[in-house]
Amino acid sequence: MYRYAHRLCGEDEAAKDLVQETFLNAYRGLRQFRGDAKISTWLYTIASRACLRMRRKRKGAPERELSLEEFVPSSEGEFRLQIPIDGLTPQQALENKELREALEQAINKLPKKYRMALVLRDMEGLSAGEAGGIMGLSERTLKTRLHRARLFVRRELSALGMAHTDRHVHEGWRPKETGS
Amino acid sequence: MTRKKAHEHGEQRCLNILRQLSAYIDDELPEDICAELRRHLGACPNCEVFIASLRDTVKLCRQHEPPPLSAHDRARLRQEILRAWKPEARA
């Protein structure tokens, strides 16, 4: 639960608060749990709702809709931007502090409803149906949000790749040749 | 300055392709649409590079692990939850 909370909140203290809130709400609602869903799904749902409430209180980043149009590359160079993980496995690439932080920042910059879709599906590994159920969305809507969230993160990370192409290489981490 | 044409096909075609990329990499598209997209990707290096970077993005998200909670913090969090819960349980 802490792992999920940290992925949603992006920071230690907020994640601990969310875990506490989740378990208190779970204890309070235990009698209503009928066992129709897996207990993990039930806890994810409680945590997700608590997260939305906490973020509203904290007045986090303003919410906005992500449109597909904003992700259409407007130049050949933008099309060919790549994530700088050439020759490395994702695990090895994430050992690079700069890339890891860029990924975390990109996820934290996502409006929360998009971030939650990405975290549940791509980070927690739930199915689109399960993630949609937790967020109270149809599978189709969940997939739309997930797709835009991925495009957003891809754009943020490939901008990092571009910075590296300009600056040249980082030790043990060479950006791919874009060929453009 | 004249802007170079970004891509061989028009923006509407790009949007249609872009809309389907997650379903494509998640293997959720019907075979006929998938085959059409594969044909396009084979003929369009820009789209091929784009989809590779989207795949990399998903792989990185899947592998990313937040810092673990230390044993000390885990014990403290547990105590805090129980402390907060006890007055409610007694009420």
Residues 6 or more apart in contact with residue A101 via CB below 8 angstroms: none
Contact A82, A176 (CB under 8 A): yes
Considering only alpha carbons, which residue of chain B is nearest residue A147?
Answer: B22
Q: Is A136 left (phi over 0), alpha (psi -120 to 50) or beta?
A: left
Q: In this complex, is the C-beta atom of A165 within 8 Å of any C-beta atom belonging to chain B? A: no
- Which of A 4-63 lie inside 8 A of B, CB atoms? 6-7, 12, 15-16, 19-20, 23-24, 27-28
Is residue B85 situated within a structural domain? no
**Helices within chain B (DSSP H only):** 11-25, 31-43, 45-63, 71-90
CA count, 13 A, side-chain hemisphere, A14? 18
Is residue B82 situated within a structural domain? no
Q: Quote the DSSP letter at residue A84.
A: S
Q: Cα(A32)–Cα(A21) distance, rounded to whole angstroms?
A: 17
**Percent with pLDDT over 70 in chain A:** 81
Min Cα distance A49 → chain B (Å) is 18
Is 70 exceeded by the pLDDT of residue A55?
no
The residue among B26, B48, B64 with the most chain A CBs within 10 A of its CB, best to mutate, is B64
Is residue B79 situated within a structural domain? no
Is residue B26 situated within a structural domain? yes
Q: Cα(B49)–Cα(A12) distance, rounded to whole angstroms?
A: 36
Two structure tokens written together for A5: 């909370």
Contact A113, A135 (CB under 8 A): yes
Indicate the average pLDDT of chain B: 82
Q: To which H or E segment does residue A144 belong? A: helix A139-167
Report helix, strand or coil for A70. Answer: helix
| Distances, alpha carbon A158 to alpha carbons A79, A164, B69, in Å | 10, 10, 30
| Each residue's pLDDT tens digit, A56-81 | 655 555 678 998 888 887 776 666 66
| Each residue's pLDDT tens digit, A96-115 | 888 899 999 999 999 999 99
Residue B53 to residue A153, Cβ atoms within 8 A:
no
Amino acid at A112: K
Residue A75 to residue B4, Cβ atoms within 8 A:
yes
Q: What is the pLDDT of residue B89?
A: 61
Range name among A13-22, A46-55, A73-82 with the lowest pLDDT average: A73-82
Is residue B6 situated within a structural domain? yes
Contact A135, A124 (CB under 8 A): no
Domain that holds residue B43: 1-65
| Distances, alpha carbon B12 to alpha carbons A151, B2, B18, B25, in Å | 17, 21, 10, 21
Two structure tokens written together for A51: 């997260």
Q: Give the closest residue to A24 by CA, choosing from B91, B82, B75, B73.
A: B82
Is residue B11 situated within a structural domain? yes
Is 70 exceeded by the pLDDT of residue A123?
yes
Q: In this complex, is the C-beta atom of B61 within 8 Å of any C-beta atom belonging to chain A? A: yes
Is residue B70 situated within a structural domain? no
Residue B19 to residue A73, Cβ atoms within 8 A:
no
**What is the ipTM, given to two decimal places?**
0.82
The tally of domains found in chain B comes to 1
Residue A76 to residue B46, Cβ atoms within 8 A:
yes
Is residue B78 situated within a structural domain? no
Indicate the average pLDDT of chain A: 83
Q: In this complex, is the C-beta atom of A124 within 8 Å of any C-beta atom belonging to chain B? A: no
Beta bridge partners of A170: A173
pTM of the full structure: 0.83
| Distances, alpha carbon A157 to alpha carbons A96, A167, B79, in Å | 13, 15, 39
